[in-house]
Chain A
Amino acid sequence: MKLELHRVKVKKWAFGSATGFANATVTVNKEELTALLLQDERLAGIELHLAHPGDSIRILPVKDAIEPRCKLEGAGEVFPGYIGDVDTVGEGKTLVLDGAAILTTGRLVAPQEGIVDMKGPGADYTPFSQTANLVVYITPREGVVLHELENACRMVGLKTAHYVASSCKSAKADKVDSYDFPPLAEAMQAHPKLPKVAYVYMLQSQGLLHDTWVYGVDAKQILPTLISPTEIMDGAIISGNCVSACDKNNTYVHLNNPIIESLYKRHGKDINFVGTIITNENVTLADKKRSSSYAIKLAKMLGVEGLVISEEGFGNPDADLIMNCWKAERSGIKTVLITDEFAGRDGASQSLADSCPEGNACVTAGNANMLITLPPMDITIGDLPTAEVLAGGFFGSMNKDGSMDVEIQAILSATNELGFTRNGARTE
């Protein structure tokens, strides 16, 4: 499957009369977008805000981050199952507003966090302090059940991203990246001297606010399967996951999966990147056994010698990660795991809940319990944690001067387990 990503470099957002792109700026017609989003009666109100790198702005709790994309050529539309129909995507040409992001916010449930600071020490720990952000603050309608609200919020993010991108189709690409993933028969013959490698992509799938969707199908209900990286670049995988902010994969990082990027960069030089296997992280132990055995069986059927395995979340998914690891290693496939750590505020506790001796090659995105003090910001977009949440120690502590002491666990993508950031840890 061949896909070209036409990347248009975006520096700024602005509000104006017509939605479109000109000299590195995306202009948005506020009324038009608001009206489009309010067609969904589950929502009572929509507010649009702009946040650029360096602004004294704090956004929380951020529910999802999405990169504006739409198809230019090829079958279907981005975000199949939601915006596009359910037919296979991942071929042709896709427009990408590079450097821009849509951040949805609005508190669905009390214990929910996800901080993005556009400036200060907190900005170092989230990739979204470096993107120009259109922030959509959602006010749900009273009495709508949580399931429906969660779906409504997810749709707001995807509709906004698609609406903005499709209004900029005429923009000229600053950079075109092309990706080519041949059919398996061809892939297996290619680069005979290079080791065949695949990627096991674990998707959070535990239940409401902890879910991921593939072509609109809830990942809890899939058996592990093969997917082309180009389908992922067209939004085949989207996030409904609100917890925990530091290591949930929002839609933005699914679209821009850095592991696929790194594997593709070495494809044909050091490795033969033959496939991506998606699998889930369910709550029931039977599902964990079934999915980990099924995913590793697919890797054996592909005849790969090496696997990168990325986890999403911690605790419960540690069990799936460890099962995937030892099942692969014991069938002769070498693995590297990417995870994050919960080693306590003093960094002295056991980082992972589960372990196996076969896990001798690990990359980590750092210790999520590290405490950090975030100075006050001039503007806050979204909802501060309720007093009850703060009292219960669910979030961290607010100081009199308006600053906050929180663990980086509360910062969006701070310890992202796809290895999206340069964050990590070492033993001292």
Chain B
Amino acid sequence: MSTRLCLITNNSTLRACTIGNSSIDFSIQLLEGSPFDVLMGGRDLIHQGWRLLNHPLYGNFRPGQQAMRSLLLSFDSEKNNKATAPHQTKAVQEYYDEDSLNYIEQALQIYEPFSKLLPTIDAEKTLKSKLLADCALIDKELMHVTLKTSGINVPLNHMEE
């Protein structure tokens, strides 16, 4: 079973996510940045052997129409250790998940032309703008199943509390 989970997002309403099963090391990287920054962060983790749990192009908006992006990744230390034992001559190649690499590269190519136009989002801006609050809510809804099936509790929408 994967022992580590990481949620990379610029959606501050996901800040309060918690893991049900405490034996799993769950970390949140809350970026103050654009969706492009989130994808780049995900890419670097994938290059170190992490695996995507959700498709990076979820939601049927175009890059310019969705200020938020979230990626849930898992790290299977067993697979990784086997591949990167330094002195091994045979299995020299470090572990990487091919599908995750394929999807993150596609997403980056689609987001790249927008990378300079996308807004930099932070928690404060999200609260103040109706548009960003709606984007945050939709983003959380779209990530709901992925987070839930990985045993992550998603905080109720603060408007609902």
Q: Give the number of chain A interface residues (Cβ < 8 Å).
A: 44
- Near A by CB (< 8 A), chain B positions 93-107 give 99-100, 102-103, 106-107
Q: Say how far A384's CB is from chain B's closest CB, in angstroms.
A: 14
Render A399-416 as a binary contact track against B, CB cut-off 8 A, 1 for contact: 000000000010000000
Indicate if A25 sits at the interface (CB-CB under 8 A): no
- Near B by CB (< 8 A), chain A positions 182-209 give 204, 206-209
Cα distance A182–B110 in the bound complex, in angstroms? 45
Chain A hits for B92, CB < 8 A? none
Apart from A284-B54, A285-B53, A394-B65, list 13 A-B contacts with CB within 8 A: A109-B134, A110-B134, A111-B135, A145-B157, A204-B60, A243-B61, A244-B60, A244-B61, A284-B149, A315-B60, A319-B55, A319-B57, A394-B131
Other-chain contact of A210, B102, B130, B131, B142 (Cβ < 8 Å): B142
Q: Give the number of chain B interface residues (Cβ < 8 Å).
A: 42
Other-chain contact of B54, A209, A283, A349 (Cβ < 8 Å): A283
Other-chain contact of A111, B113, B119, B131 (Cβ < 8 Å): B131
Chain B hits for A220, CB < 8 A? 145
Chain A hits for B131, CB < 8 A? 110-111, 386, 388-389, 392, 394
- For A354, the closest partner residue in chain B by CB is B106
Cα distance A343–B66 in the bound complex, in angstroms? 19
Q: Can you give 25 A-B contacts (C-beta < 8 A)?
A: A109-B138, A110-B134, A146-B137, A206-B142, A210-B142, A241-B60, A243-B59, A244-B60, A282-B145, A283-B54, A283-B55, A283-B145, A283-B146, A284-B54, A284-B145, A315-B107, A315-B110, A319-B55, A353-B107, A353-B110, A354-B106, A392-B119, A393-B117, A394-B64, A395-B65
Indicate if A361 sits at the interface (CB-CB under 8 A): no
- For A313, the closest partner residue in chain B by CB is B60
A-B contact count (CB 8 A): 119
Task: Contact check, B146 vs A284: say whether CB atoms are below 8 A apart.
Answer: yes
Cα distance A410–B117 in the bound complex, in angstroms? 20
- Near A by CB (< 8 A), chain B positions 104-159 give 106-107, 109-110, 113, 117, 119, 129-131, 134-135, 137-138, 141-146, 149, 157, 159
Given contacts A284-B146, A353-B57, A392-B131, whether A111 and B66 have CB atoms under 8 Å apart is yes
Cα distance A208–B129 in the bound complex, in angstroms? 20
Q: Say how far B105's CB is from chain A's closest CB, in angstroms.
A: 10
- Near A by CB (< 8 A), chain B positions 70-105 give 99-100, 102-103
Cα distance A283–B131 in the bound complex, in angstroms? 23
Cα distance A288–B61 in the bound complex, in angstroms? 19
Chain B hits for A316, CB < 8 A? 55, 57-60
Cα distance A315–B54 in the bound complex, in angstroms? 13
- For B135, the closest partner residue in chain A by CB is A111
- For A150, the closest partner residue in chain B by CB is B141
Task: Contact check, B62 vs A388: say whether CB atoms are below 8 A apart.
Answer: no
Indicate if A350 sits at the interface (CB-CB under 8 A): yes
- Near B by CB (< 8 A), chain A positions 237-264 give 241, 243-244, 247-248
Task: Contact check, A145 vs B57: say whether CB atoms are below 8 A apart.
Answer: no
Chain B hits for A288, CB < 8 A? 55
Q: Which 9 A-B pairs have the closest CB atoms?
A: A315-B57, A208-B141, A207-B142, A109-B134, A110-B131, A283-B58, A243-B60, A313-B60, A207-B141
- For A113, the closest partner residue in chain B by CB is B65
Task: Contact check, A110 vs B142: say whether CB atoms are below 8 A apart.
Answer: no
Cα distance A358–B111 in the bound complex, in angstroms? 26
Cα distance A353–B55 in the bound complex, in angstroms? 12
Task: Contact check, B60 vs A145: say whether CB atoms are below 8 A apart.
Answer: no
Chain A hits for B144, CB < 8 A? 207
Chain A hits for B119, CB < 8 A? 392
Indicate if B44 sits at the interface (CB-CB under 8 A): no
Given contacts A208-B138, A210-B59, A393-B117, whether A145 and B146 have CB atoms under 8 Å apart is no
Cα distance A407–B98 in the bound complex, in angstroms? 34
Chain B hits for A210, CB < 8 A? 59-60, 142
- For A320, the closest partner residue in chain B by CB is B55
Cα distance A354–B107 in the bound complex, in angstroms? 10
Chain B hits for A244, CB < 8 A? 60-62
Other-chain contact of B138, A209, A241, A389, A395 (Cβ < 8 Å): A209
Chain A hits for B52, CB < 8 A? 285
Chain B hits for A353, CB < 8 A? 57, 106-107, 110
Task: Contact check, B53 vs A286: say whether CB atoms are below 8 A apart.
Answer: yes
Cα distance A286–B55 in the bound complex, in angstroms? 10
Chain A hits for B62, CB < 8 A? 244, 342, 409
Cα distance A123–B36 in the bound complex, in angstroms? 35
Chain B hits for A313, CB < 8 A? 60
Indicate if A314 sits at the interface (CB-CB under 8 A): yes
